[in-house]
């Protein structure tokens, strides 16, 4: 049976979505396919336009060709959806968008408004390099495009407390907070949303979601890939800044949040932010940084690099629910497997006939984010046969395909929420600020990187962080 999913649409007013950086990798691989998927599922507003914006010469024909090619390559293919209808709604604005020169955008927006009856909401999606966020923010103000519009900033929204504050001060000066959305696409994975919905929809799960029953929370985002062609970008960032303080902190806060009053458009964001504000400052002894053997030989990596290709952190959250429960976060390259998991490692029995019994592995509730997602529940049961004893087994519930419904990739959720004005899957300023603040002691006293062999779960010290427990993935 399908229950009504809580979803909140502002209204069915026409929308103009402006894709700044439409020619880039993100739009090609993720945003344009997401839009076409929504068109295919008839989940776009009744009337809409998409403006592909960029610098230099960039005609409507260029944009249409670009969209078609993106869909051919990344799907759904044009033939699998309402391509003719979508094509008619595509517009292009070249000439860039800067304080000195707004290019073609204001004229194209006027034309889109005329075509849509004059009352369309305008959503500006900044799918441009982060260095363009500040200048473009100023350009919206300079060209009078702020009123009645919404803006979405891609990640990273700042790369340190200082750069976050600098960007956010300008964003808050130019926009009202209700107009601003900030992306962390990990919040939009199907299984990540189930960390919230499965928890609150199942009282037994909600009942164990606390320090009485949970020994550790683990968030793992592991890749077998190396840094590929992105070596110089990666070397300037590293695993800790690229993943831990951003995505994994937000995922940990999603686990840690107190029950929101409702599932309305702002309540989940507020609950997540409140959890992030309770993260204890991260001490250097709670962090392990690793570098896979061979990293320094990669073209584009400086020979004196100290960049971490793997980072693990033990975070403490000062709430009554989670006091003394470590949140173990780990992410890296060239690891043993491609895995994305959020796991609650459960405590053994403390009363009853099995109190104090040593078991092989702790019982666990684990959400896998890969593809359509899955929920694994590891339980202790009686060993079959006459010898007796206890064994452990895992029940796996694939989250994809339930009720005949297929998964949607994160960007499809994000674009839909954005067009609906629903903030649930977006990050909030108090949480982002709290995350940067929480890493200050670590950032001031960064531990040295330790070597690890490719194809492993990281340096031995990573296991130490989990003691007296163990990693679910090992
Ligand atoms: N790619 C991904 O998988 C991915 C994943 C998550 C988040 N992101 C984030 O999404 C954003 C876009 O990523 P991307 O990989 O698509 O970037 P990109 O390919 O480097 O750039 C996107 C487009 O932005 C325009 N652009 C480049 N420099 C600019 C500048 N200084 N000012 C204004 N426009 C500029 C270019 O279009 P024109 O030359 O046509 O103007 C370019 O095609 C970034 O913030 C990134 O961090 C990307």
CATH of the domain at 57: 3.40.50.720
- Per-residue pLDDT averaged across 96-111, rounded? 98
What is the Å distance from ligand 1's center to 85 Cα?
A: 27
Q: What is the CATH number of the domain that holds 270?
A: 3.30.360.10
Instruction: Answer with the one of 154, 174, 204 that is the final residue of a domain.
Output: 154
Q: Is residue 239 part of a domain?
A: yes
Q: Please state the rounded mean pLDDT for residues 59-71.
A: 98
Q: Is residue 419 part of a domain?
A: no
| pLDDT class of 9 with cuts at 50, 70, 90 | very low
Looking at the structure, tell me whether residues 192 and 150 fall in a common domain: no
In this prediction, residue 11 has a pLDDT band, given cuts at 50, 70 and 90, of low
For residues 90 and 229, membership in a common domain is answered with no
- 52 within a domain of the structure (yes/no): yes
Given a contact cutoff of 8 angstroms between Cβ atoms, the answer to whether 308 and 470 are in contact is no
Do 148 and 201 share a domain, yes or no?
no
Same domain as 116, residue 235: no
Q: What is the pTM of this model?
A: 0.96
Q: Are residues 106 and 225 in the same domain?
A: no
Q: Does any domain span residue 161?
A: no
**Given ligand 1 and candidates 18, 19, 20, 21, which is best to mutate, with the most ligand atoms within 8 Å of its CB?**
21
- Give the pLDDT score at 228: 75
pLDDT tens, position by position, 421-472: 999 999 999 999 999 999 999 989 999 999 999 999 999 999 999 999 999 9
Angle at 321 (CA atoms; ends 316, 324), nearest 5 degrees: 35
On whether both 147 and 213 belong to a single domain, the answer is no
Convert the pLDDT of each residue in 154-167 to its tens digit: 999 999 999 999 99
Largest CA distance in the chain: 82
Question: pLDDT tens digit string along 114-161?
Answer: 999 999 999 999 999 999 999 999 999 999 999 999 999 999 999 999
Q: Mark whether 100 and 210 lie in a shared domain.
A: no
**What is the tens place of the pLDDT at every residue in 79-99?**
999 999 999 999 999 999 999
Our CA dihedral for 206, 376, 426, 288, rounded to 10 degrees, sits at: 100
- Token look-up 């695993």 returns 239
Range of the domain at 48: 15-154
Q: Is residue 391 part of a domain?
A: yes
**CA–CA dist 184, 155 (Å, integer):** 7
Q: Which of 113, 137, 154 is the last residue of a domain?
A: 154
Residue 46 in any domain: the answer is yes
Domain count, the chain: 2
How does pLDDT run across 308-341, given as a tens digit for each residue?
A: 999 999 999 999 999 999 999 999 999 999 999 9
- Indicate if 143 and 193 belong to the same structural domain: no
- CA–centroid distance, 81 to ligand 1, in Å, is 26
Confidence of residue 357 (pLDDT cuts 50, 70, 90): confident
Give yes or no for a contact between 376 and 340, defined as CB atoms under 8 angstroms apart: no
| Angle in degrees, 0-180, between the axes of helices 249-256 and 190-201, rounded to the nearest 10 | 10
**Residue 146 and residue 237 in one domain:** no
The pLDDT assigned to 12 comes to: 81
Mean pLDDT of the chain: 95
Q: Do 216 and 318 belong together in one domain?
A: yes
The reply to whether 262 falls in a domain is: yes
428 C-alpha to center of ligand 1: Å? 22
Are residues 206 and 336 both part of a single domain?
yes
Same domain, 201 and 140: no
DSSP labels, 214-283: EEEEEEEEE-S---GGGHHHHHHHHHIIIIIIIIIHHHHHHHHPPPPS---TTHHHHHHHHHHTTBPPPP
Residues lining ligand 1, CB < 6 A? Answer: 21, 23-26, 54-55, 127-132, 154-155
Confirm whether 442 is domain-assigned: yes
Can you give the pLDDT at residue 233?
84
């Amino acid at each position: 049976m399908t229950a009504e999913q809580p979803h909140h649409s502002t209204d069915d007013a026409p929308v103009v979505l402006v894709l700044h950086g439409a020619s880039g990798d993100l739009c090609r691989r993720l945003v344009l396919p997401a839009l076409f998927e929504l068109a295919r599922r008839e989940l776009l507003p009744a009337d809409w336009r998409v403006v592909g914006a960029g610098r230099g010469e960039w005609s409507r024909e260029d944009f249409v060709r670009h969209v078609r090619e993106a869909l051919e390559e990344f799907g759904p293919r044009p033939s699998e959806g309402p391509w003719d209808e979508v094509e008619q709604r595509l517009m292009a604005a070249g000439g860039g968008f800067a304080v000195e020169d707004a290019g073609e955008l204001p004229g194209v927006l006027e034309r889109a408004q005329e075509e849509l009856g004059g009352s369309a909401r305008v959503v500006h999606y900044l799918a441009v390099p982060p260095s363009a966020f500040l200048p473009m923010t100023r350009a919206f103000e300079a060209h009078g495009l702020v009123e009645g519009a919404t803006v979405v900033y891609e990640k990273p929204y700042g790369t340190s407390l200082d750069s976050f504050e600098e960007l956010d001060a300008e964003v808050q000066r130019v926009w009202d907070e209700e107009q601003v959305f900030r992306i962390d696409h990990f919040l939009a994975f199907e299984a990540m949303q189930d960390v919230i919905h499965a928890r609150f929809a199942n009282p037994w799960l909600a009942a164990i979601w606390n320090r009485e029953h949970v020994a550790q929370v683990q968030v793992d985002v592991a890749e077998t890939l190396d840094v590929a062609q992105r070596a110089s970008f990666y070397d300037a960032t590293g695993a800790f800044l690229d993943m831990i303080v951003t995505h994994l902190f937000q995922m940990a806060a999603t686990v840690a949040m107190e029950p929101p009053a409702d599932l309305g458009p702002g309540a989940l964001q507020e609950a997540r932010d409140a959890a992030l504000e309770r993260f204890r400052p991260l001490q250097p002894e709670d962090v392990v940084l690793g570098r896979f053997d061979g990293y320094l030989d990669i073209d584009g990596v400086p020979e004196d690099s100290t960049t971490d290709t793997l980072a693990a952190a033990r975070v403490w959250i000062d709430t009554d629910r989670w006091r003394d429960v470590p949140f173990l976060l780990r992410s890296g390259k060239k690891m043993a497997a491609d895995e994305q998991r959020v796991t609650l490692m459960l405590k053994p029995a403390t009363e009853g006939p099995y109190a104090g019994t040593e078991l092989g592995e702790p019982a666990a509730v684990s959400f896998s984010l890969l593809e359509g997602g899955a929920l694994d529940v590891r339980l202790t049961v009686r060993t079959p046969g006459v010898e007796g004893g206890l064994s452990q087994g895992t029940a796996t519930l694939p989250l994809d395909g339930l009720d005949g419904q297929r998964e949607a990739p994160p960007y499809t959720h994000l674009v839909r929420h954005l067009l609906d004005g629903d903030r649930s899957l977006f990050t909030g300023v108090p949480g982002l600020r709290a995350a940067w603040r929480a890493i200050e002691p670590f950032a001031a006293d960064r531990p040295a990187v330790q070597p690890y062999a490719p194809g492993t779960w990281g340096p031995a010290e990573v296991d130490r962080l989990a003691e007296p427990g163990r990693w679910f993935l090992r």
